[in-house]
Amino acid sequence: MFSVGIIGASGYTGSELLRLLVNHPNVKVDFAYSKTFFGQAISSVHQDLIGEDLPDFTNNVNPEVDVVFLCLGHGKSKEFLSSKAFSNKTKIIDLGNDFRLTDDSDFNGKTFVYGLPELNRMKIKEANFIANPGCFATAIQLSLLPLAKNGWLKSDVHVNATTGSTGAGVSLSETSHHPYRNGNMSHYKAFSHQHLGEINQSLRQIDSEKSGEILFIPNRGDFTRGIFATLYTKLDVAFADILSAYENFYKDEPFVNVTTENISLKPVLQTNNCLISVEQKGDYVLLTSVIDNLVKGASGQAIQNMNLMLNLEETAGLRLKSAAF
Amino acid sequence: MFSVGIIGASGYTGSELLRLLVNHPNVKVDFAYSKTFFGQAISSVHQDLIGEDLPDFTNNVNPEVDVVFLCLGHGKSKEFLSSKAFSNKTKIIDLGNDFRLTDDSDFNGKTFVYGLPELNRMKIKEANFIANPGCFATAIQLSLLPLAKNGWLKSDVHVNATTGSTGAGVSLSETSHHPYRNGNMSHYKAFSHQHLGEINQSLRQIDSEKSGEILFIPNRGDFTRGIFATLYTKLDVAFADILSAYENFYKDEPFVNVTTENISLKPVLQTNNCLISVEQKGDYVLLTSVIDNLVKGASGQAIQNMNLMLNLEETAGLRLKSAAF
Amino acid sequence: MFSVGIIGASGYTGSELLRLLVNHPNVKVDFAYSKTFFGQAISSVHQDLIGEDLPDFTNNVNPEVDVVFLCLGHGKSKEFLSSKAFSNKTKIIDLGNDFRLTDDSDFNGKTFVYGLPELNRMKIKEANFIANPGCFATAIQLSLLPLAKNGWLKSDVHVNATTGSTGAGVSLSETSHHPYRNGNMSHYKAFSHQHLGEINQSLRQIDSEKSGEILFIPNRGDFTRGIFATLYTKLDVAFADILSAYENFYKDEPFVNVTTENISLKPVLQTNNCLISVEQKGDYVLLTSVIDNLVKGASGQAIQNMNLMLNLEETAGLRLKSAAF
Amino acid sequence: MFSVGIIGASGYTGSELLRLLVNHPNVKVDFAYSKTFFGQAISSVHQDLIGEDLPDFTNNVNPEVDVVFLCLGHGKSKEFLSSKAFSNKTKIIDLGNDFRLTDDSDFNGKTFVYGLPELNRMKIKEANFIANPGCFATAIQLSLLPLAKNGWLKSDVHVNATTGSTGAGVSLSETSHHPYRNGNMSHYKAFSHQHLGEINQSLRQIDSEKSGEILFIPNRGDFTRGIFATLYTKLDVAFADILSAYENFYKDEPFVNVTTENISLKPVLQTNNCLISVEQKGDYVLLTSVIDNLVKGASGQAIQNMNLMLNLEETAGLRLKSAAF
């Protein structure tokens, strides 16, 4: 059994890691670090973990664990790593956005690899430090990678994506207050969302000639989990060829499925799957991409990365029942 | 036109008063007091009021207004009235719980009348100071008053009532955080909710011999508005007589309707109505009572009280379209 | 008092008319026609109307009423008008899509005027027959009319709009089944929604040189009421000029408000208002437009049209309290 | 690997079995019988199962499978078993209510055992035919069994329980129509729900002297999954003894947890767990019991029964991640 520690274990991505790891066949949670709740039972904060064999929250780290997950606010990972040292063998997976861009990927002698397995599987297997992708970034990239691979990103891409309220985290805020959020919809950071950087970086990684902008409107949806994204761009290619490109790109991927049917959000909720629908509408290819923002969009993907780094079965601990309803 | 002021105008009951009063034919909002937002446009906080003719939030009161509504946290009304004086002619309606119990109803020479029109209409018409009932208390009392009137409260009454998230107010809290509240249900203050005091007081007012306890479980529901209450008690009376008792009690009431059909919550949402279903089940009478917690349960009832005090049409400003869906 | 009849009074737009008309100061519901429920009390189907003074559902029409509203399935209005005759003075407002396009607007000697008051107020005042706009069409047109007015529609317009489940009507369907719809999101009729016809027709009416396509993705949202639409197009005009164009276009409109603030859906729910946010993002103007699909998107707008045709106050019966939460 | 067949595989409990069984380590789905969808891919109906290794829907049964699950409408299982024969070794688990009561448990030479493992584990291990408990019945019984065990059921038990919309199944109905159900609440079958029979039968099985009635109000909640039940009864026993009784009763149970904390519904969603909170309030013991209606309340419990019958690990295939949010 490998030992793992979680930093920021009381938040949403941290607790989702706990939920996933208690059933993982090859790892054991060594410590769950929380500055707020140390000394308390994990189940006193996360009632769904009553009855599970887990240590109490702590404010000590064990520097010898095999893997550490950083589940801190964006920008806090560097600060944390500056204050705490881990052993040379300890692999670090950061769920924040501190190290996702190449310009930010070197820190204190560590080089972080961008942890999107469908793009960087080989590099991830050899990495010690992973920058786990953002949730919107995951849904959007997975639907555009096959276009980039074929040099088909020559026009603007129009993206509209709606996220559940867990995307805004455990911190109380007006836009996550139930009387406001329930039955409501709004957008934020239109055309300027911070995930655009990592998306464009990945697309250019496989198509350095990519042109056209990504015009992205993120919405706050009236549900707790999931990202529902639609994307379209001009593409003068026969539909059969487009579809083949997607099927080929994802044919060996355990967590990405391609369909030509109209899809909805819920089939992927509570799973590590991304489901992509490919359609042709006149001059445009229309893509619909759905993920669970806390699983494939965060903690599930982090475990997928861990599995790759530890040379485990990639799907270990990630064969999850869909919520379905 | 009568002039009114609202203290605590940025909260839920305060803003609901604004929403109702902008369409009231006989009154005009003179000032909207807010310690947090004074100096700002009301529509900057309440976007639904964009385009309405309303003054900015202020931190000054006009002591000469005809009516003042106190929409402060429970326990804060006494404090406020101790610090600010109003003219002798100013009528005061408190939406908090400071003055609802007879023991609390005298304060600084003012005597507050409990403002449930279906119980105290005549007293309200002559009152200058009103303690507006609580939301759960309104739904529960209206369904029990006809039993009390007939001396039929001789056994325990079992009450289960579920409230929307606006009942917990504008303040951010864990149990109003959307990721927690959506799709969830929980109870709180079982058997000890603070509204039991005013409920029992009203029932004893019309049946001093009332016996039996009220066993009340309040729940937090997965919706923003409304109270759905079921109540049952043993009652060995023919159903026709029970139903007559309800129909007679409410036959002239503009906002209370009685039915024998199975009902749901939504028909009363956004209205000042209370809908009561009366059924007989074996030895028990089963009552279902639904209101909008912010309207009949708070601000609408406050305006109904104001109408009575100002000798206006009781329904003025309260002919509201139901949400229905 | 004017007398009105409603055809299809048990559906969502028909019942919403009833809800609005019971409080309208100048009209009285003469009959509510329903092939399914004739002979039954309206309140037995719509519990929110218990206690209101309304006739039972009927399967007879009174051909002498002043106004008839047709609330039938799309395509059914022609059929109905072929089978039933009304007096010469009876004004007809069709809430379906049978007569919205100019090519369809002449039928049996009647000429239907497209009933968007912000576009066609003068024509509506003189009309006897109105084709009431579609819900998506209303939200989209109101946000684009000022651009068309100024000749600023020269590029593609990218529209993403999400509707509540009442938009799909009272008929049971898999995509309106609660276990499917709750917490879910999906799109339908991407780039081919039937409202595109009326939208383009209106825009060309005031800018015959309009170019560029409208690329429209309609979504099914996880709420019951409302349309939340975002729209953007390239526009090389100073923001102050754009904003002025909107403010001027709507300065005398009773139901359309313009803001530069970020908005959400709920402030307009249960009202006849449309709220439009105008922003500039790089080369693009970004518009956000929200309405209640059953009020400004259907029955409220129908009453606004009726008020204009009967020379009543345009806002009569339409000063509605916002749902807000 | 054991082979299993599912009858009625397109409905909610049938599809939930598929979702669970695709990840079960010891069984393989041999056939999924559907009269509506035979010949179609399972993933064409259940998009969450895209990519899973499953046979198409069929209208043929393999009579030699090790286990058959009947997921038919209540009352349809007898009809089905009369028309189709299975091998002598085939174990049958009925998720309907045809065989739950002792009076109904013998059919065509088969004797059905009531499949509540916490009550009947030993009998289940030796059974060939199981009547799987109802969802409400599961939540209610699990919270009352320790009282029955100690002879503490001497007074009426007051039960209020709210279920998600999946409880009403895949068939379209007015009370499951999203515009009706969302933000709404209602009750049905008050005091007469069909699960009362099996609940009383189980309680009398371990306490033949049990007295007092179970007064049960079932509610339709505004969520898709889960049952939230509160129950109280008079009990003059020290709280420490009550709590011990619960802890002892469930100390070896893999899926039932006891707490004294206030709980909510969501921690058990998507899991096979039942979480019970035990409190003392004056003369009453107050119990709160939560389950996922489709898992512990149906398909998960059916697999738990299968595991017992096949002598597998009881938790095999049932270590599920909680939905949590």
CATH code assigned at B20 = 3.40.50.720
Task: Identify whether residues B166 and B95 lie together within a single domain.
Answer: no
What are A191-248's pLDDT values in tens digits? 999 999 999 999 999 999 999 999 999 999 999 999 999 999 999 999 999 999 999 9
The answer to whether residue A276 sits within a structural domain is yes
Question: How many Å lie between the alpha carbon of D12 and the closest alpha carbon of chain C?
Answer: 10
- Residue A74: its pLDDT value, please? 83
The answer to whether residue C320 sits within a structural domain is no
CATH code assigned at B268 = 3.30.360.10
Q: Which residues pair with D67 in a beta bridge?
A: D4, D91
Cα three-residue angle A38-A43-A47, rounded to 5 degrees: 135
The answer to whether residue B60 sits within a structural domain is yes
What are D125-140's pLDDT values in tens digits? 999 999 999 999 999 9
Question: How many Å lie between the alpha carbon of D180 and the closest alpha carbon of chain B?
Answer: 6
What are C234-266's pLDDT values in tens digits? 999 999 999 999 999 999 999 999 999 999 999
Cα A188–chain centre separation:
20
- Residue B73: its pLDDT value, please? 84
Choose, from D135, D243, D268, D309, the residue flagged as catalytic: D135
- Residue D235: its pLDDT value, please? 98
Task: Identify whether residues B124 and B90 lie together within a single domain.
Answer: yes
The answer to whether residue B282 sits within a structural domain is yes
- Residue C255: its pLDDT value, please? 98
- Residue B232: its pLDDT value, please? 98
- Residue C218: its pLDDT value, please? 98
Task: Identify whether residues A155 and A237 lie together within a single domain.
Answer: yes
Q: What value does the mean pLDDT of chain D take? A: 97
Considering only CB atoms, D224 lies closest to which of C170, C172, C179, namely C179
Helix ranges (H only) for chain D are 12-21, 42-45, 77-83, 117-125, 135-149, 178-181, 196-206, 239-250, 300-309
Task: Identify whether residues C29 and C178 lie together within a single domain.
Answer: no
Residue B74 has pLDDT above 90, yes or no: no
D93: containing domain: 2-133+296-309
User: Residue C267 and residue B15: Cβ atoms within 8 Å?
Assistant: no
Considering only CB atoms, A160 lies closest to which of C160, C188, C325, namely C160
Backbone angles phi, psi at A290, to 5 degrees: -130, 140
- Residue D75: its pLDDT value, please? 86
Name the token pair of D155. Answer: 């007074």
The total number of structural domains in chain C stands at: 2
User: Residue C319 and residue B15: Cβ atoms within 8 Å?
Assistant: no
Considering only CB atoms, C182 lies closest to which of D12, D170, D224, namely D224
- Residue B243: its pLDDT value, please? 98
A182 to chain C: which residues are within 8 Å by CB? 325
Considering only CB atoms, D267 lies closest to which of A44, A47, A323, namely A47
**Which residues between 105 and 124 in chain A have a beta carbon less than 8 angstroms from any beta carbon of chain D?**
none
Asked if residues D60 and D84 have their Cβ atoms less than 8 Å apart, the reply is no
State whether residue A58 sits within 8 Å of chain C by CB. Answer: no
Q: Which residue of B has its CA nearest to D190?
A: B281
What are B6-24's pLDDT values in tens digits? 999 999 999 999 999 999 9
Q: How far apart are CA D286 and CA B191, in angstroms?
A: 10
Asked if residues C61 and C31 have their Cβ atoms less than 8 Å apart, the reply is yes
Task: Identify whether residues C146 and C50 lie together within a single domain.
Answer: no
Residues of chain C with pLDDT under 70: none
Q: At what angle do helices C135-149 and C117-126 cross, to 10 degrees?
A: 100
Name the token pair of B152. Answer: 């039929």
Task: Identify whether residues A95 and A171 lie together within a single domain.
Answer: no
- Residue C22: its pLDDT value, please? 98
Q: How far apart are CA A46 and CA D267, in angstroms?
A: 8
Q: Which residue of B has its CA nearest to D263?
A: B186
Q: Buried b / exposed e across D83-107, counting CB within 10 Å, b at 16+? A: eeebeeebbbbbbbbbbbbeeebeb
The answer to whether residue B314 sits within a structural domain is no
- Residue A73: its pLDDT value, please? 84
D183 to chain C: which residues are within 8 Å by CB? 224
- Residue C14: its pLDDT value, please? 98
Q: How far apart are CA D238 and CA D260, in angstroms?
A: 14
Interface probe, candidates A12, A47, A313, A320, chain D, greatest D C-beta count within 10 A: A47
Whether residue A135 lies in the annotated active site: yes
> Looking at residues B106-125, what average pLDDT do you find?
97
CA-closest candidate to residue C188, choices C226, C222, C223, C161: C161
Task: Identify whether residues D145 and D286 lie together within a single domain.
Answer: yes
The answer to whether residue D43 sits within a structural domain is yes
Structure letter (DSSP) for residue D264: B
Task: Identify whether residues B79 and B202 lie together within a single domain.
Answer: no
The answer to whether residue C255 sits within a structural domain is yes
State whether residue C181 sits within 8 Å of chain D by CB. Answer: yes
User: Residue B47 and residue C259: Cβ atoms within 8 Å?
Assistant: yes
Question: How many Å lie between the alpha carbon of B269 and the closest alpha carbon of chain D?
Answer: 10
Task: Identify whether residues C56 and C153 lie together within a single domain.
Answer: no
Interface probe, candidates D15, D170, D178, D185, chain C, greatest C C-beta count within 10 A: D178
Question: How many Å lie between the alpha carbon of C278 and the closest alpha carbon of chain B?
Answer: 15
Task: Identify whether residues A129 and A41 lie together within a single domain.
Answer: yes
Task: Identify whether residues B240 and B205 lie together within a single domain.
Answer: yes
Q: How far apart are CA D125 and CA C316, in angstroms?
A: 72
Q: How confident is the model at residue D74 (pLDDT cuts 50, 70, 90)?
A: confident
Name the token pair of D122. Answer: 């030993």
> Looking at residues D85-91, what average pLDDT do you find?
97
What are the distances in angstroms from CA C2 to CA C21, C24, C167, C314?
Answer: 11, 10, 29, 15
If one counts every other C-beta atom within 10 angstroms of the C-beta of residue A304, the result is 28
Residuewise pLDDT in 10s, chain A (325 residues): 999 999 999 999 999 999 999 999 999 999 999 999 999 999 999 999 999 999 999 999 999 999 999 999 888 999 999 999 999 999 999 999 999 999 999 999 999 999 999 999 999 999 999 999 999 999 999 999 999 999 999 999 999 999 999 999 999 999 999 999 999 999 999 999 999 999 999 999 999 999 999 999 999 999 999 999 999 999 999 999 999 999 999 999 999 999 999 999 999 999 999 999 999 999 999 999 999 999 999 999 999 999 999 999 999 999 999 999 9
Cα three-residue angle D284-D286-D289, rounded to 5 degrees: 160
Name the token pair of B62. Answer: 């006009």
The answer to whether residue C300 sits within a structural domain is yes
User: Residue C265 and residue A226: Cβ atoms within 8 Å?
Assistant: no
Task: Identify whether residues C233 and C275 lie together within a single domain.
Answer: yes
Backbone angles phi, psi at D249, to 5 degrees: -60, -35
Strands B67-70 and B2-7 come out as parallel
Q: How far apart are CA A41 and CA A115, in angstroms?
A: 31
CA-closest candidate to residue B321, choices B262, B273, B252, B261: B273
- Residue D309: its pLDDT value, please? 98
Whole-angstrom distance between the N-terminal and C-terminal Cα of chain D?
34
Provide ipTM, 2 decimals. 0.97
Residues 6+ apart with CB under 8 A from B52: B22, B42, B43
